[in-house]
Amino acid sequence: MEIDGNILAAKSLVRFGVHHMFGVVGIPVTSLANRAVSLGVRFIAFHNEQSAGYAASAYGYLTGRPGVFLTVSGPGCVHGLAGLSNASVNTWPTVMISGSCDQADVGRGDFQELDQIQATKAFSKLSVKASHISEIPACVAQVLDWALSGRPGGCYLDLPTDVLHQKVSESEAEKLLTEAEKNRTKTEPEIVSNSKIEEAVSILRHAERPLIVFGKGAAYARAEHALTKLVETTGIPFLPTPMGKGLLPDTHALAATAARSLAIGKCDVALVVGARLNWLLHFGEPPKWSKDVKFILVDVSEEEIELRKPHLGLVGDAKHVVEALHKEIKDDPFCLGSTHPWVQAVSNKAKDNVAKMEVQLAKDVVPFNFLTPMRIIRDAIAAVGTPAPIVVSEGANTMDVGRSVLVQTEPRTRLDAGTWGTMGLGLGYCIAAAVASPGRLVVGVEGDSGFGFSAMEVETLVRYQLPVVVIVFNNGGVYGGDRRRPEEIDGPHKEDPAPTDFVPNAGYHALIEAFGGKGYLVGTPDELKSALSESFSAGKPAVVNVVIDPYAGSESGRMQHKN
């Protein structure tokens, strides 16, 4: 018996541990998807490769296994670049596999021809082509291993049409699979030297105003238990980045989230674990940070540490390094204690800010601003209990307000626009979260603009009956209503809707009803409470269309200075 390249690729994926795939099928990869399914893979078929790619990347982050997505050649591959690049920027393990045109016809204008290796190189850690069927198993193993190794990221595998149609005997295929399995690389995390651990502990011990900052790299490393022990042993306040939220509960007494400006502006030592000192952390520079702050950076990437030139860099896996720090401290423990002036300053400021925010949140403002519905969503999510729903959030004001108001109590329960500020990833992330965590409720909290990028994927939610409730903050446009200055409204097309406008009062809830899902249109607190209570307990695909005052919020959310 002989098998073709499609079967061998499917067998390779299964042999090397792939349980789920995302993608869009078509020439020349339909058979590959079908074969993978017949071998036990769950294939989630999307409408657009962009969303499939976003889904694969979030799956990689949530499971710690490479998220794999499949595209057709040429345009399919180009659409997939959005997912591949977003994965690499977020440092999430992801593999994009694309079919490509027949190798014999390259350069002659073949159907969907593109030099896909060249096209993907800028966005991947590794781009490889299987030029012959015999190379398929080794190439599949290689991209899966590379996606995970060192600093995780996106990898690309090119499977030309002719290779997918070539044949080998079953026994030859088995030999190739065994060989590839034998040669798989497993990189062990680097071990940080004892002297560096001792130095880090000594700096923390002598700090007057220490702070522990952690990000999605720490979340990816499953460092939550290690961080909890470190924080609770030392009594050092902590600050999560948006996706680091939940590693320790936002409600923890040492959480500095609500006192962010004070914590980063006044700390003298910051232990930063799995978070880059990029724009999200103001590059670690004044005026947000003190110019004298000593950074101790923990990152799996040596390159990252070299780039930032911290006071001390610890290259290694976040969980292992934090465990080593804790072990070192345990032998000669120190704890700031709740009466320490720094702990009190952070805690008082946080309590103060929370109280002020609560006053605003307590108001029932109708037509809705952003705060009133966000409070109702926060309370509905809290009422779900454990496991806490995974929240996916995007949009300018919706994401900004949601970050402050929604409470994360469990790790990896917040997915958002991330390092690139990517909009349009919401539906892909929601689908990935539901697939990666069966039985867990997923709640999308999205601006109408973010939702619109991939709204057709609500059909995917319905098709697979995923427990996802997408709440759309509908304010009729990008940032909401027409906010142009009078001098910006001119020219022969001035009667056109503004570039930021969408159709007012769009019926987003009706979109999901077209496919048999449940839609809700809400404009008052009672309507929203009832829609959330019903849809959360049903655990079925639903869209809640929340009508927001088009002039609530601000243009560009909190990023106005850049627009």
Tell me which residues touch ligand ADP (CB under 6 A). Answer: 90-91, 151-152, 215-217, 220-221, 241, 243-244, 274-276, 278, 280, 299-301, 304, 317-318, 419
Q: Which residues contact 323 (CB under 8 A, 6 or more apart)?
A: 226
CB-nearer residue toward ligand ADP: 79 or 276: 276
Instruction: Say how far residue 127 (Cα) sits from the centre of its chain.
Output: 22
- As measured in angstroms, the least distance from the Cβ of 419 to ligand ADP is 5
Question: CA-CA-CA-CA torsion for 6, 7, 8, 12, nearest 10 degrees?
Answer: 100
Does an H or E element contain 317, and which?
none
435 vs 239: CA distance, rounded Å: 29
| Look-up of token digits 């509908």 | 474
Q: How far is the CB of 205 from ligand ADP (least distance, A)?
A: 23
- Token look-up 């159709």 returns 503
Rounded to the nearest whole angstrom, what is the least distance from the CB of residue 81 to ligand ADP in the complex? 19
451, 496, 505: which is closest to 475 by C-alpha?
505
Considering beta carbons, is residue 261 or 348 the nearer one to ligand ADP? Answer: 261
Nearer to ligand ADP, 136 or 318 (CB): 318
221 versus 381: smaller Cβ distance to ligand ADP: 221
- Which residues make Cβ contacts (< 8 Å) with residue 30, sequence separation at least 6? none
The dihedral built from the CA positions of residue 167, 169, 170 and 175, taken in this order, carries a sign that is negative
Name the minimum Å distance from CB 280 to ligand ADP.
5
Name beta bridge partners: 94.
67, 154
Let me know the angle formed at the C-alpha of 386 by 385 and 392, rounded to the nearest 5 degrees: 90
CA 235 to chain centre: 29
* 48 vs 419, beta carbon nearer ligand ADP: 419
Give min distance, CB of 227 to ligand ADP, in A. 12
276/326 with CB nearer ligand ADP: 276
Which residue number places its CB atom closest to ligand ADP? 217
Q: How far is the CB of 557 from ligand ADP (least distance, A)?
A: 17
* Residue with smaller CB distance to ligand ADP, 198 or 306: 306
* C-alpha closest to that of 372 among 526, 479, 559, 533: 526
C-alpha–C-alpha distance, residues 334 and 325, integer Å: 12
C-beta closer to ligand ADP: residue 24 or 275: 275
**Smallest distance from ligand ADP to CB 142, Å:** 20
Minimum distance of ligand ADP from residue 397's CB (angstroms): 20
Name the residue type at position 99.
G
* CA of residue 183 relative to chain centroid, distance: 31
